Amino acid sequence: MKNAIYFDMDGTIANLYGVENWLDYLIASDPTPYKVAQPLVNMNSLARLLNRLQAEGWHIGIVSWLSKSGTAEYNEAVTATKVEWLNRHLHSVNWNEVVIVPYGTPKQEVVQFATGILFDDEIPNRNNWTGTAYDVQNIIEILKGLR
C-alpha cells in the first residue's frame, strides 16, 4: 500500500472564504476568488516538506471540489484557475495527482489512495475519508512528523 497525502484547497491551503464577496463572484461565474485567494499555510515550508516526503516515497496529491453551481464552462475556468494557483504558490511541487471534481463528489472515491492522509477543512469530508483525516490546524507540524 502506497503512503499518500492529499490536500483540499478551499479553506485548507487556499483562503477562498477570506476573499471579500467570494460567494457573489461564484454565483456570477467569475473565477477571480480562486485566483486571488491567499495561502493559509507557509508555502515555502509546505513545498519543502512535500518535496522531502515525495523523495522518501510518499504520493502527493490534491483533491478539490469545483464551485457548487457552475456551468461546464465555469467549471473549466475554475479548474484552470486552481491549477494556476498551485503552480504559482507551490511551483516547486511536482504533484503525483491533482483531482478537481464536481462539488459534493465523495473524495475517497476519486483518488488513487484513499487509505492515505487527507487534510480538509470540512468535517463530512474528513468523516467519510477512508484513511487518516486531519483538519487544517498544524498541517506543517503533522507533515514534519511523518516518515
Applying CB under 5 A, which residues contact Mg ion?
Answer: 8, 10-11, 121
**Which residue number has the CB closest to Mg ion?**
11
Question: Which set of grid coordinates corresponds to residue 93?
Answer: 511541487
The 3-state DSSP class for residue 7 equals strand
Nearer to Mg ion, 10 or 95 (CB): 10
Question: Which set of grid coordinates corresponds to residue 95?
Answer: 504533484
Cα torsion at 40, 85, 64, 57 (round to 10°)?
A: -80
Nearer to Mg ion, 97 or 121 (CB): 121
Nearer to Mg ion, 11 or 131 (CB): 11
CB of 57 vs Mg ion, minimal distance in Å: 27
Question: Which set of grid coordinates corresponds to residue 9?
Answer: 484547497
- Distance between alpha carbon 93 and the CA centroid of its chain, in Å? 13
Nearer to Mg ion, 30 or 121 (CB): 121
**End-to-end alpha-carbon separation of the chain, Å?**
15
CB of 19 vs Mg ion, minimal distance in Å: 14
CB of 1 vs Mg ion, minimal distance in Å: 26
CB of 64 vs Mg ion, minimal distance in Å: 7
